[in-house]
A and B are shown apart, each in its own frame.
Chain A
Amino acid sequence: MSNVYVMGVDMIKFGRFPDRSVPNIGAEAALMALDDAGLGIQDMQALYCGNLGQASGMVGQRILQEIGQTGMPVVNVANACATGATAFREAWMSIKAGMYDVVLAVGVEQMGKGLLGGAGTGDGIPKEGLLGSGTMPCVFAEAGMEHAKEYGTTFEQFAKISVKNHHHSTMNPKAMYQIETPLDDVMNAEMISYPNTKLMCSVNVDGSAAAVLVSEKKAKELGMARAVKVRASAMASDPYTDRDLVMPDVNACTRLAAKDAYEQAGIGPEDVNLVELHDCFATAEMLHYENLGLCKDGEAGKMIDEGHVELGGKVPVNVSGGLLSKGHPLGATGIANIYEICTHLRGEAGKRQVEGAKIGMTHVIGLGTACGIHILEKTS
């Protein structure tokens, strides 16, 4: 099976674009990624498009209607917050399978403002606020409180994660926000679902990201200078655990995908120089330090307290600003974090550059549950 390389990758600056269409927002990133690869839409052999909000709306084909209807096969995917990573992985798999040498993956989302989730109405009466809460800030608060129960993790430690990611985003011009949020501001912000305050919840934004993936043969033909090697592409669904059907278990799913990813890459967590992980809420990021093996179980609080996950630390996490400050356009997130890692591996991340980065990891998790992990490596 051929190795797979990212030859072009880019994202638009995340923001709110209520006057634009979903395909239009996706088309912009697609063109940017093509430019980055030095290729045109006519060079692509297939398109894998991730979008959640219009999952039945043929978004991939509508993107091509904006930038070039070559007749190539298009696959539209939806997989909750792992949608972008799923599109990328399908593209990767098509090259692994020997079907194609050059393919395009696009992730795009246009979000409203406000709370996501909510206990379903189904028949009868609404259950939200009656049988607990199905809102995302609450569901992830409950997951964080499970960690607090086990290890004594504090509200302040969760809040520090948000301080860190907002700080990182001040160095990322493509992030939705570039503002410092000191600890007091984070802890005193409006409480949404304890222990997640408003500044500890990801930002709903519109955005898109895209990547051109190529086979080794094609990468050599085009030149390896800025190519990034995909060392692993792993995906897991939620395995059975005792409470999973009532309290979605983001831990077991991530651990399963991480194990597979490390095995594929033939490396361990100690070899990873930076990570973009799924900080949909500050409480979630805490869990994934352990789930991804960045530290031992029970040491996540120490990771944030001692600065190991900051830019300049042992393994910087979410130097893009993460979902908390860069923003979280659901279908785009999984490719936007691949853009971030590639930018560091290419040494092009400017002020937030992780010096000497050779290997990076991306992680997303979509409740329901889908976890996608990619390990990427610098080639030159």
Chain B
Amino acid sequence: MSKPLPVVDYLKIPEKGEPYLEGYRCKKCNATYLGERNVCSKCFARDEMEVIRLSDKGTLHSFAIVYRSFPGIDVPYVSAIVDLEGGGTIKGNLINIEPDPDKIEFSMPVKVIFGDALGRKDKEGNSYLSYFFEPI
């Protein structure tokens, strides 16, 4: 079994230790981005980005419960927008919760967890590591 690949380039899988999400933060204005970049689209500063490790804790900003998706995708699932502690917003599946609007609370604390990408493999047969959210 070869090592799983990261589902997105900002998911980092170190040789030792736990996987984490990587952000880029503007040293001038503090805007936080996912993925590598050199220019800040908020304050337009160039070459002022620093690489940061994003928090694995956050709060649920918004969500939708998806009942109709593309063929082959299991539904229903919760598509969630999460604000991370200390900056950065990410989108992903909120799991380990009933997909019921009455059970999901805005601003509820969630944890970023890592796991296999629902069994999805690329053309070469590689497996992938993805991130998910779960209620704390």
Contact = CB atoms under 8 A, between A and B. Distances in A.
Contact of B81 (A125, A155, A243): A243
B79 A132 contact: yes
A130 B116 CA distance: 10
Nearest to A118: B70
Contacts of B5: 124
B34 A138 contact: no
A191 interface: yes
Given A128-B73, A129-B70, A193 B65 contact: yes
A128 B130 CA distance: 12
B92 to A, nearest CB: 5
Given A131-B91, A142-B64, A125 B120 contact: yes
A240 B31 contact: yes
B66 A130 contact: no
Contact of B66 (A124, A138, A143, A190): A138
Given A125-B117, A130-B7, A130-B118, A191 B34 contact: no
A133 interface: yes
Given A193-B79, A246-B81, A124 B64 contact: no
Contacts of B91: 131-132, 246-247
B79 A125 contact: no
Given A246-B81, A246-B91, A125 B68 contact: no
Interface in A161-202: 190-196
Nearest to A283: B64
Contact of A243 (B79, B89, B120): B89
Interface residues of A, number: 36
A135 B65 CA distance: 12
Nearest to B9: A123
Contacts of A75: none
A246 B75 CA distance: 22
Contact of B79 (A142, A148, A196): A142
Interface in A101-157: 115, 118, 124-133, 135, 137-138, 141-143, 145-146, 148-149, 155
A245 B88 CA distance: 10
Interface residues of B, number: 43
Nearest to B87: A242
A129 B117 contact: no
Interface string B90-109: 11110000000100001100
Nearest to B6: A124
A249 to B, nearest CB: 11
B38 interface: no
A72 B7 CA distance: 49
Contact of A132 (B8, B67, B80, B122): B80
A129 B42 contact: no
B67 A246 contact: no
Contact of A246 (B34, B65, B93): B34
B121 A125 contact: yes
Given A138-B64, A243-B81, A149 B31 contact: no
A141 B64 contact: yes
A245 B69 contact: no
A142 B70 contact: no
22 contacts: A124-B5, A128-B69, A129-B66, A129-B69, A133-B66, A133-B77, A135-B70, A142-B63, A142-B79, A145-B106, A149-B61, A149-B107, A191-B65, A191-B67, A192-B67, A192-B68, A193-B64, A194-B64, A246-B81, A246-B89, A247-B62, A247-B91
Given A129-B69, A132-B92, 9 more contacts: A115-B68, A132-B79, A132-B91, A190-B68, A191-B68, A242-B31, A242-B89, A243-B61, A247-B62
Interface of B: 5, 7-8, 31, 33-34, 41-42, 61-70, 73-75, 77, 79-81, 83, 89-93, 101, 106-107, 117-118, 120-122, 126, 128, 130-131
Nearest 9 interchain pairs by C-beta = A141-B64, A132-B79, A129-B73, A194-B65, A149-B106, A125-B120, A240-B42, A133-B79, A132-B91
